[in-house]
Amino acid sequence: MSTAIIFWALVVIVLIYAVVVYNALVNLKHNVAKAWSNIDVLLKQRHDELPKLVETCRQYKQFEQETLQKVTEARGRVQAASQSQDMPALGLAEGALRAGLGQIFAVVEAYPELRANEQFNQLMARITGLEEAIADRREFYNESVNIHNVRIEQFPDNVVARLFGFLPKALLTFAADDLKDVDVKALFRGESAAS
């Protein structure tokens, strides 16, 4: 009789533990989704601002059309990767977009009329603010992903995670070139060489 009681008590304890672990994993999964949605909102806001910036620059006929084309193409790749939540592709597309924006901001120095354009300055400030917010949210997202991934790999939580199909999430990382400081002098040398 006492062996049966001990057995059923152990079964109940294991089931309670499995439910607690399952609920914790669900909570972590939703934290990752919430962190992603914060980034997604900012990406969409920036996505809406970029055509306005490109169009403002296009009004200056001499402005480098190739640079504007690169930004437009990168914007499309960011949107596609964002919609599919393909973090490696999003990281690469973000790198291309940031490089294109850096080129626009460097090239603008050669266009005093554009530099003085109020709409351009407002768009530039808005996009810069969104870039900073995306960087902050990316850090929060990556921390949420890290906590999630560590938890589903730890024993005995990994047993429950595998049983219920909790999969690791991808970090949102940028290329190594995007993490180092921009060499503004090199951008200006490239601009003056192209002129």
What one-character-per-residue DSSP string does 154-183 give? STTHHHHHHHTT--PPPP----HHHHSPP-
Binned at pLDDT 50, 70 and 90, residue 189 comes out as: very low
Give 58 or 153, the one with higher predicted confidence: 153
Distances in whole angstroms, Cα of residue 20 to Cα of each of 8, 10, 25, 187: 18, 15, 9, 54
Share of the chain above pLDDT 70, in %: 87
Tally of CB atoms within 10 A around 143: 14
Does residue 190 surpass a pLDDT of 60? Answer: no
How close are the terminal C-alpha atoms of the chain, in Å?
A: 92
Confidence at residue 175, expressed as pLDDT on a 0 to 100 scale: 65
pLDDT tens-place string over residues 9-52: 999 999 999 999 999 999 999 999 999 999 999 999 998 988 88
Instruction: State how far Cα 94 lies from the chain centre.
Output: 8
- 68, 135 Cβ separation under 8 angstroms: no
Does residue 55 surpass a pLDDT of 90? Answer: no
Chain length of the chain: 195
pLDDT tens-place string over residues 92-127: 898 888 888 888 888 787 788 888 888 888 988 898
Does residue 132 surpass a pLDDT of 50? Answer: yes
Confidence at residue 187, expressed as pLDDT on a 0 to 100 scale: 41
> pTM of this prediction?
0.74
Axis-axis angle for helices 87-107, 65-84 (nearest 10): 160
Confidence at residue 150, expressed as pLDDT on a 0 to 100 scale: 95
Does residue 180 surpass a pLDDT of 90? Answer: no
Helix, strand, coil abundance in the chain, percent, nearest 5: 85, 0, 15
Does residue 59 surpass a pLDDT of 50? Answer: yes
Domains of the chain as residue ranges with CATH: 2-194 (1.20.1440.20)
